[in-house]
């Protein structure tokens, strides 16, 4: 059978396509109702499996259009949805002419059995002409369900946005958004790190807060991200604190869309103390190395002086005052094959 999959989720399209192809069917995949109608008008299709919530044309409108088309109206249609699962949603699906409604995620066995079931029904049983339910009643029902889902989605988005904002505002690292070479958003930690008020940071070019020697680097890296040459970049940078002090920071930024336009969103971590500790460690290690070299040099000079004194004692017929047997042992060891 030729089975048309309509879903704006790429992963679901891929899974269904592989499943149906593996069962010997020919699966066709589209992302919304508009693309589905284009395929239906040029390809023979035996069964339609469609999501409901999709861009451009949703599953309800696709079903209504298919049932109103004389050539397409007898094609079995299955709704496969995770959002429209209430009894009212199912009633509307059947009123519009769908054969069945499956709740995501449906098992492999359920999908295959449902396809076999609707495909084996006689045409007279499965055909649901669009005129079977009054147009005004169906469209009112459709409008009511759509409004209800949009209201539910808005509540969910508002809750998610509130959680995200709380997370960002309470973050222990600086978070920023740069657009048109200016900060369009900085979180409280970013303000704390730099010491500048948020209004001041937003009113001036980003480069005003960067050490002059590092400005070329900061021009190039955001350009690469916005141009798509690099998805994310991580690097160290020197910024100017409000007090005039130089801060060492670690920056990690990625390309994003902000208010419908390209931007860079990223995190900023103050690593000034870590850099200072690293510099102090390197300095102490260098000092220790110099001390070791001086100590070894003095020790060698002392050994040579003791050797000279021992030699003078032997020439004078006296016992050498310094025991240097460890040198003999070392020399003998080097001579052994």
Write down the domain spans for the chain.
2-157, 172-270, 276-335
CATH topology of domain 172-270: Beta-Lactamase (3.30.450)
> How distant, in Å, are the alpha carbons of 65, 84, 94, 221, 336 from that of 133?
14, 20, 10, 60, 108
List the end-to-end C-alpha distance of the chain, in Å, as a whole number. 86
- Residues 6+ away with beta carbon under 8 Å from 92: 60, 138, 141, 142, 145
Q: Count H helices, E strands: the chain? A: 12, 10
Same fold: 2-157 with 172-270? no
| pLDDT per residue of the chain (337 residues) written in tens, 0 to 9 | 999 999 999 999 999 999 999 999 999 999 999 999 999 999 999 999 999 888 888 888 899 899 989 999 999 999 998 877 788 888 888 888 899 999 888 888 999 999 999 998 876 555 454 444 445 455 555 656 665 666 666 666 667 667 667 777 777 788 898 888 899 999 999 999 999 999 999 999 999 999 999 888 777 776 666 666 666 678 888 999 999 999 999 888 888 888 888 888 888 889 898 888 888 888 887 887 887 777 777 777 888 888 888 888 888 888 888 887 655 544 444 444 5
- DSSP H or E run through 256: strand 246-258
Q: Which three-class secondary structure state does DSSP give residue 287?
A: helix
The three-point CA angle 201-206-209 to 5° equals 75
The three-point CA angle 205-210-212 to 5° equals 105
Please tell me the predicted confidence (pLDDT) of residue 330.
46
Long-range contacts (CB closer than 8 Å, 24 or more residues apart) made by 256-259: 256/177, 258/177, 258/179, 258/184, 258/185, 259/179
Structural domain 2-157, CATH architecture: 3-Layer(aba) Sandwich (3.40)
């Amino acid at each position: 059978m030729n089975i048309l999959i309509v879903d704006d989720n790429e992963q679901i399209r891929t899974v269904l396509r592989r499943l149906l192809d593996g069962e010997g069917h020919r699966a066709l995949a589209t992302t919304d109702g508009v693309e589905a109608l284009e395929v239906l008008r040029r390809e023979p299709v035996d069964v339609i499996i469609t999501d409901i919530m999709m861009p451009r044309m949703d599953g309800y409108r696709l079903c209504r259009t298919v049932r109103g088309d004389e050539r397409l109206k007898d094609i079995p249609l299955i709704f496969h949805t995770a959002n429209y699962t209430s009894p009212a949603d199912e009633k509307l699906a059947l009123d519009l002419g769908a054969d069945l409604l499956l709740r995501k995620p449906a098992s492999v066995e359920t999908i295959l059995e449902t396809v076999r079931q609707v495909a084996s029904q006689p045409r007279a049983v499965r055909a649901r002409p669009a005129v079977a339910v009054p147009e005004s009643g169906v469209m009112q029902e459709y409008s009511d369900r759509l409004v209800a889902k949009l209201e539910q989605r808005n509540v969910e988005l508002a809750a998610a946005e509130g959680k995200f904002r709380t997370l960002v505002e309470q973050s222990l690292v600086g978070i920023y958004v740069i657009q048109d070479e200016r900060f369009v958003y900085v979180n409280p930690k970013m303000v704390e790190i730099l010491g500048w008020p948020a209004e001041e940071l937003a009113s001036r070019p980003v480069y005003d807060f960067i050490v002059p020697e590092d400005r070329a680097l900061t021009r190039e890296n955001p350009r690469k991200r916005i141009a798509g040459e690099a998805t994310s970049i991580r690097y160290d940078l020197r910024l100017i604190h409000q007090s005039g002090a130089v801060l060492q920071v670690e920056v990690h930024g990625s390309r994003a869309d902000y208010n419908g336009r390209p931007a860079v969103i990223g995190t900023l971590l103050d690593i000034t103390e870590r850099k200072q500790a690293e510099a102090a460690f390197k300095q102490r290690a260098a000092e220790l190395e110099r001390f070791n070299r001086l100590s070894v040099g003095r020790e060698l000079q002392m050994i040579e002086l003791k050797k000279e004194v021992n030699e003078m004692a032997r020439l004078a017929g006296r016992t050498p005052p310094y025991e240097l047997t460890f040198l003999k042992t070392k020399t003998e060891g080097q001579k052994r094959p």
